[in-house]
Amino acid sequence: MPQISGGCLCGRIRYESAAAPVMVALCHCTHCQKQSGGAFSVNVAMPKGSLAFTGGPTAVYEDTGTSGLPVHRHFCAACGSPIYSDVEASPQLDWLKAGTLDDTSWVRPSVNIWCRSAQPWVAFPEGTPRFEQNPPG
């Protein structure tokens, strides 16, 4: 896999990582639907701290997950592009928004989460596990 790189729509914020992704999750929770403006959010789970940013700090929206723990949603203050989420319920991961990647050709969903709030017309990718909420453990 090539080195991961990407950035926001206006190009102000860029990132890189040499780490391998842990998984690609389609999140169907209502917060990801609102934040992405779509039926789900495509999230690339990266090892915490493996993303190196340039171009300025991200703005952060402080959300609360259904776990009751904070979800720090990082985005570009100039163009509004969501970049990644820091979910305190999964402290070992940063959840990178796949749409910000320079090269998305390798992105394949490995899991669907929060399917209990999925839009009824969504077709789940064949062979990917589905969880009503977060996967166990």
In tens, the pLDDT along 43-101 reads 999 999 999 999 989 999 999 988 888 999 999 999 999 999 999 999 999 999 999 99
Assign domain 4-117 to a CATH class.
mainly beta
**Model's pTM, two decimal places?**
0.92
Q: How large a percentage of the chain has pLDDT more than 90?
A: 89
| Amino acid 56: pLDDT | 85
Q: How large a percentage of the chain has pLDDT more than 70?
A: 98
Beta bridge partners, 85, equal 73, 95
User: How many Å is the maximal CA-CA distance in the chain?
Assistant: 39
